[in-house]
Copies of this chain bind each other. A is one copy, B any other.
Amino acid sequence: MEIEKLWEEVRELNLGTSSQVERLESPPSPLRFLRDFVSPNKPCIISNATLHWPALSSWTQPSYLSHALSSSPVSLHLTPNGLADALVPRPDDPSSLCFVSAHVQRMPFSDALNLVSSSSLSNSFVAYAQQQNDCFHSEYSALAPDVDSHIPWATEALGCLPDAVNLWIGNHLSETSFHKDHYENLYAVISGEKHFLLLPPTDVHRMYIRDYPAANYSYSQDTGEFTLELEKPLRYVPWSGVNPFPSPADRDREMAFFPLYFNGPKPFECTIKPGEILYLPSMWFHHVRQSPDERGLTIAINYWYDMQFDIKYAYFNFLQSICGPSSFFLPEARTWEVSDISIPTTSADAANEDLSCSVLSATHNDIPLATKSEPGASEIAILSEVADA
């Protein structure tokens, strides 16, 4: 059995072979949610899930949020282009990539909201009010009465309260690259729309995950410019190299570099609207874009519940380990050009050691094999070596 067969089988048995996500017209019973979605690790969209939340009307009123939060300090994430937690050229070697986090600045909510609204590429920054540390219960606690503090049927099904609740206030420029979380995720949209691409954990090798050195943006208000710095000491973050929406000019190149993604089964695709919740199962890879409301904002809140580290998780780790811990058919070193706003999404760091693998069929064997990257000191050596080449 090849790995491709696994990708097919999980769809035939469990997920369906279309790219549609199952939709429920109302919240499921806890038992049904657990049996039909959490246990089989299958996403669903729940319509009419949060219509009773005051937030659905109040948060869309012009000055409600600013009044409610007034001068509460919140964390604002700033990037040059809306792509945080993304791969960009290394500052010390632009022919290879690093994993960059946003510049985070605490400021009064009203200022933050203004910056989110006025973000544009011509302004040369994009602001995103968010913080994935249970920020709803800290920075945004004044809004607590406007939504449920947890999702009752999910809480009952999962047997625990959410571990974190995060609020996201952004605009159409913010985009989250493919990644997975170790949480059961209930994702509710309040205003605007969120567009998800989803791939099951079985498809891990189609994500081309490698370790990248961590870097941070630093924004200077004086110059209005971003600088990019690698973390010292170097720290490595495993991340997907796949950009599912390459520009037309880049498409052929990206398809050649990530054939398992582009030639395999299509990702599941869905748009979540106000009043709806996406159940995003633990360990699913997801890519998120958003459409704004008439104010230019997209507002969402997500509830992270602890996942069970059970036989599924053990199977996943075994699968991921096959043919190296964090690489799989990565191409050899490549070069690319920095265009205006698009950020290249693959790595030039691959060395050439062969890595044989019998579980993929011969159809992809025309792509050169890459070595697995070892996080830590050895990685630095490999990267330097390739950079010099």
Question: Which residues of A line the B interface, CB within 8 A?
Answer: 1, 3, 5-6, 9-10, 13-14, 30-32, 34-36, 38-42, 156-159, 200-202, 308-322, 325, 356, 358-359
22 contacts between A and B (CB under 8 A): A1-B318, A5-B318, A9-B314, A9-B318, A10-B311, A13-B310, A31-B159, A32-B159, A35-B308, A39-B39, A39-B308, A39-B310, A40-B311, A42-B310, A202-B311, A202-B314, A202-B318, A312-B312, A315-B319, A318-B319, A356-B358, A358-B358
Contact B32 A35 (CB under 8 A): no
Contact B158 A35 (CB under 8 A): yes
Cβ contacts under 8 Å, A317 to chain B: 1, 6, 9
Cβ contacts under 8 Å, A157 to chain B: 31, 35
Cβ contacts under 8 Å, A32 to chain B: 159
Contact A314 B42 (CB under 8 A): no
Contact A6 B201 (CB under 8 A): no
Instruction: A340 to B359: give the CA distance in the assembly, Å.
Output: 45
Contact A201 B13 (CB under 8 A): no
Count of chain copies: 2
Contact B159 A310 (CB under 8 A): no
With both beta carbons as reference points, the residue of chain B lying nearest to A324 in the complex is identified as B1
Q: Which of A6, A157, A159 has the most C-beta atoms of chain B within 10 angstroms of its own C-beta?
A: A6
Other-chain residue from B3, B5, B34, B313 in contact with A35 (beta carbon distance below 8 A): B34
Cβ contacts under 8 Å, A1 to chain B: 317-318, 320-322, 325
Instruction: A159 to B315: give the CA distance in the assembly, Å.
Output: 26
Contact A309 B31 (CB under 8 A): no
A49 to chain B, nearest CB (A): 20
**7 extra A-B contacts, CB within 8 A, seeds A9-B318, A200-B311, A315-B315:** A6-B314, A31-B157, A31-B159, A39-B308, A39-B310, A202-B318, A312-B312
Instruction: A125 to B358: give the CA distance in the assembly, Å.
Output: 49
A200 to chain B, nearest CB (A): 7
Instruction: A238 to B362: give the CA distance in the assembly, Å.
Output: 28
A46 to chain B, nearest CB (A): 18
A97 to chain B, nearest CB (A): 26
Other-chain residue from B5, B156, B312 in contact with A315 (beta carbon distance below 8 A): B312
Contact A3 B310 (CB under 8 A): no
A369 to chain B, nearest CB (A): 14
Q: Which of A6, A35, A157, A319 has the most C-beta atoms of chain B within 10 angstroms of its own C-beta?
A: A35
